[in-house]
Structure 1
Amino acid sequence: MLQRTIIRALTGATVALALTGAALSADLRYAHVGAEGDIQTIYAAEAAKGIAAATNNEVTVTVYPASQLGGVAEMVDGIKMGSISIGHHDFASLARLVPEVAVFNAPFIYRDGEHALKATDPATSPALQAINEKLVAQGVRIIGRIYRGDRQISSNFPVKSPADLAGKPFRAVPLELWVSMVKGFGAIPTPVEVAELPTALMTGVVVGQENPLTMIASNNLNEVQSHISMTGHMRAVLAVFVNEEIWQGLAEEQRSAITKVLDDEAKKSLQMAQEGEAKLVEELKGRGMTVITEADGLDVAAFREKVGAQIAQDFPNFTPLIEQIQAVK
């Protein structure tokens, strides 16, 4: 029987610690910006259930979706400070802490979904492990990933090549990598937070955006966009990251159980994305959207060339990391 229990009160997690330092219980606050129905929202909900089950309810997770705890910047800052325990978003959202982590969101970098998951596995990816060491020094650790689906372009007019977007305001995720990519699209990058995106599209602040089909459908962007161009320019993989102090406050067996749950859910997210894309294409067509593929004249090679050149210009230090990622079998 324990003679004494030390209670550490954290805003992001309440962790009961034994004299040995091993966590007896923890209540983790999990934040993300995803909307209802999105793969990332399903992932977080299922991960919370799985973590509770795998740890015999010693570690419980309360999920706050749809930007309830703030936008991307607020979430990253909250996790760094510990007011939020865990969250997920694009790898590039952590670039303010370690700039090169954005490489894992680089366009046209992965061969397919399976390659994307292998190259972003915190347990086995050499590139990610090296970057994780730098993140840990900043108080944050990547412990998992989510496959959200391929990102496609939506617009309120047909887009078949970068020339069609030349000089037009196009939504960029408020991160440097996305700004660079949108420049490669030929458009004018216009940062818009996801919660404000439908209004920005409706009012013409931006004429288009890019996201997985799951997001386009779950946010009803068909109501403000008429076309989808199937560029598949990014294999959308999101990083799951945690406050390092909170993470180290858990027992080793609890950390192992959590990472296994997250890995299992990552594989499920890939399967869900692959099975869902064909259905979503038909669903969005049914909602009135026109879907443009290479068979319809979409010049994916032109997007790859223009975007690749822009990324190489803006992020020359990415080149060796990209080679390392692409070497993963």
Structure 2
Amino acid sequence: MVRDQTAQSRRSLLKKSGAALSIGIAGLAGCTGNNDSNNNNGKSNSKSDGEKLTITFATTQPPENVSVKAAKKHFIKPLEKKSDGRISVDLKAGSLGGTEDNLDALESGTVDILHESPTALAQRWASKYSFAGDPFVIKDMDHYRAVTDKYLKPDDGLNGILKKNGVQLGDAFYVGNRGFTSNSTVKTPKDVQGMKLRLPQYDTWTKVWGEIGADVTPVAYDELYSALQTGVVDASEGPISQFLSVSLYEVQSHFSVTNHLLGTKHFLYNQEFMKGLSDDNRDLVTSTASDAVEKMTDQIKSNESSLYEEAKQKGTTVVPADKVDREAFVNAGMPALKQLSKNKWAVNINDVLNLA
């Protein structure tokens, strides 16, 4: 197992031990239940196309999340149908714990297929590829696909590092752009100068937003609402789905569609699982996933548009993307982006931007 030690904390290592124990206990408990496909011992990953195959597919998102609904509609159901019932998918939606727990399960083979973000992969295994999930780097899905093809999927890129850890990188789909929440309009970098901005504790994000001029303030996610309510912080950032789900519209009047970070997730495969499939079954799984990501992206984007309308109905001023000078933000953050490119990333920022 090859880990990027700079991408891990002592806390995540302790979590890994606890997650492995809890998954092991869950696996033993599952032996007495009706579903005997919860672990590798209960699955028939046969190389024969004629035998039944149960695939364990996991995501950290709950069943009601739009990405889970899209995966069921565009990946799970088509895969089961195309296989004439030979293949069934055991969906674990939000039931295996957090990101690290799910990655543990994928790496160990408890899970065969997982949806996860490039940020999660960089945090766990390859911090030099964090650029794929850092602010003001990726413009849109076409740009992300180009970056994936050049830097992430090749064996001399991120995928090579993942394979050393028993994981294979698959296709990506859109999960939402991140915007800026505040009590005033945000259109240009000058609008965020000195504003106390809550960010997740990712060093790269902090550097970029700090360079732009925000006063980055660490606040735990479960304290975000109260921090905004009491003025501990002035602003936050995240997808519109988060803005609505935790009722930030009650404490923030504006949502500016800065599109500073394109949210994506990849199909990730346990390598031993893939090796154990027949050629036909392997092709069926990957081709169905490739077909699914486009349709999933369309469904999630459509849902995102409806969420902006919902925010407006709740009284939020939504500043649309065409009113935000994204290029000005990129230019303001460029000194930090160049430093990250020089000292941390596996790529040159200009090479990445030129793929857009």
Check conservation: 2:159, 2:169, Cα contact below 8 A: yes
Partner residue of 1:116 out of 144, 154, 173: 144
Matched letter for residue 281 of structure 1? Y
The code of the aligned residue for 1:99 comes to S
Number of aligned residue pairs: give it. Answer: 315
Q: Render the CA deviation track for 1:57-77: whole Å, top value 9, x for unaligned.
A: 433323333x43222222223
Paired residue secondary structure (1:271): helix
2:71–2:296 contact (8 Å) kept in structure 1 = no
8 A Cα contact 1:139 1:243, kept in partner = yes
Given the superposition, is the C-alpha separation of residues 20 and 29 from structure 1 closer, same or farther in structure 2, using an over 3 Å criterion? closer
Contact kept in structure 2, 1:35 and 1:219, CA below 8 Å = no
Bigger CA drift: 77-86 or 227-236?
Answer: 77-86
CA contact (8 A) 1:119 1:328 kept: yes
Give the partner amino acid of 1:109.
Answer: V
Distance in 2 (CA, whole Å) between partners of 1:247 and 1:219 is: 38
Residue 320 of structure 1: SS of its match in structure 2? coil
How far did 1:145 drift?
1.1
1:306 paired residue among 295, 308, 332:
332
Corresponding residue to 1:49 among 62, 74, 77: 77
Tell me, yes or no, if the aligned pair for 1:153 and 1:209 is still in contact at 8 Å. Answer: yes
What corresponds to 1:89 in structure 2? 116
Matches within 5 A, 1:268-283: 268-283=295-310
The answer for the alignment partner of 2:260 in structure 1 is 233
313-322 vs 17-26, which moves further: 17-26
TM-score for both structures, normalised by structure 2: 0.72
In structure 2, the residue matched to 1:28 is: 56
1:158-192 per-residue CA deviation (whole Å, 9 max, x = no partner) reads 43444554555534345444344443452325364
- 1:73 alignment counterpart: 100
Runs of at least 4 residues of structure 1 off by over 6 A?
Answer: 19-23
3-state SS of the aligned residue for 1:216? Answer: helix
**Using a 3 Å threshold, how does the CA distance of structure 1 residues 218 and 50 change in structure 2: closer, same or farther?**
farther
Structure 2 counterpart of 1:172: 199
Partner of 1:128: 153
* CA–CA distance in structure 2, aligned partners of residues 205 and 12 of structure 1: 48
Question: Structure 1 residue 209 and structure 2 residue 236: aligned?
Answer: yes
Q: 1: CA distance between counterparts of 2:227 and 2:113?
A: 29
CA distance change for structure 1 residues 272 and 117 in 2, over 3 Å: closer, same or farther? farther
**Take 1:85 and 1:113, find their aligned partners in 2: how far apart are those partners?**
26
Q: CA RMSD in A?
A: 3.6
Look up the SS of the partner of 1:269 in the other structure.
Answer: helix
SS in 1 for 2:173: strand
- Aligned with 2:172: secondary structure? strand
Match of 1:60 in 2: 88
Shift of 1:234: 2.0
User: More deviation in 92-101 or 216-225?
Assistant: 216-225
Q: Is the 8 A contact 1:14 1:28 kept in 2?
A: no
Determine if contact 1:127/1:325 at 8 Å carries over to the other structure: no
Deviation at 1:325, TM superposition (A): 4.6
> Aligned-pair distance for 1:220?
4.5
Q: Structure 2 CA distance, aligned partners of 1:202 and 1:82?
A: 43
What amino acid is aligned across from residue 256 of structure 1 in structure 2? Answer: D
Partner of 1:3: none
Superposition deviation, residue 91 in structure 1: 0.4
Larger strand fraction of residues: 1
Does the 8 Å contact 1:312/1:319 carry over to 2? no
- After TM superposition, give the deviation of residue 258 of structure 1 in Å: 1.6
Q: Equivalents in 2 of 1:172, 1:319: separation in Å?
A: 24
Residues 202 and 27 of structure 1: CA distance in aligned 2, closer, same or farther (over 3 Å): farther
How much identity, in percent, do the aligned residues show? 24
> So what's the TM-score if we normalise by structure 1?
0.77
Q: Which has the higher helix share?
A: 2
Which position in structure 2 is the counterpart of 1:152?
A: 179
Alpha-carbon spacing, 1:199–1:85, altered in 2? closer, same or farther (3 Å): farther
Distance 1:216 1:43, change over 3 A: farther
